[in-house]
Copies of this chain bind each other. A is one copy, B any other.
Amino acid sequence: MSPALTSVGHQRGFIVPIGGAEDRVGEAQILRRVLSLCGKHASIAIIPTASKKEDTGRNYQMLFESLGAHSAHVLKFGEREDCEDPLALQILADCDGVFITGGNQLRLSTTLGGTSVARLLRRRNADGMLIAGTSAGAAIIPEHMIAFGEEGPSPRAGMVALAPGLGLSNKIMIDQHFRQRDRLGRLLTAVALNPFALALGIDEDTACFIGPDNVLEVVGSGSVTVIDPSQVRGNSLAEQERTEAITLTGLRLHVLTAHAGFDLETRTPISA
């Protein structure tokens, strides 16, 4: 599920991974920004597949409506066969932006993966539509998704499990609740498996707004930890048992806060 090719005359839409627990009762600046990027009379489709709670979709629907969305539709996609429903696909084809809720990212990959919904999401993002996701909804965005793992700051060979994600980008790997759940170790392990993509560790109430130009801007109250493996030299992962600590040298690390940017193509930070 690599990124779909962008049609001539189109630019890829924004990709907005959010670290979970974004503010919804105060200024809600992340969700407001999502909405404003979707346009003035935005119609939002909400995919609550990751969540087991009945009211997750409905809560976001009311929230987006209260923030000024013209309309907000909840697309349940509880089973794989729901992902071929013509009415739901039509809503996805017509909306101005998609918001994927939190929960368990494996529910997203196992339910949407290989269906018409996954293909349409990739197609529409390639042709300009914004896709945002929080927590599990952020995890599913890249080609290589962190499915689950263990806590702790230093990497160990078997501490992270990957699965194929939605594939909106192969330039990044994403982890969420980064500071709150002590996830540096598992993100470093994910990088060590094949040190090619940039890794983004996104705190709660914090988002990366990744534009069509592959420049990322941080919005929210926390930080985004960027790990660049371009210069990695030592990497002992292949030689270790699953529970053993690994050597990993030559990483570059950047910590970004609100308004700071990062160019994913040149791998350089942009000052606020």
Contacts and interface: CB of A to CB of B under 8 A. Distances in A.
Interface of A: 1-3, 79-81, 104, 106-107, 109-111, 113-114, 118, 143-145, 147, 158, 161-165, 167, 170, 192-197, 229-230, 232-235, 237-239
A45 to B, nearest CB: 21
A103 to B, nearest CB: 9
A5 to B, nearest CB: 9
This chain: how many copies in the complex? Answer: 2
Given A193-B164, A194-B164, A230-B114, A106 B237 contact: yes
Nearest to A112: B194
A81 B193 contact: no
A67 to B, nearest CB: 30
Contacts of A193: 106, 109-110, 113, 147, 163-164
A233 B194 contact: no
Contact of A194 (B1, B79, B232): B1
Nearest to A147: B193
A192 B106 CA distance: 10
B238 A110 contact: yes
B170 A2 contact: yes
Contacts of A238: 104, 106-107, 109-111
Contacts of A162: 161-164
Most buried by B among A107, A163, A167: A163
Given A114-B196, A170-B2, A194-B109, A161 B161 contact: yes
A162 B163 CA distance: 7
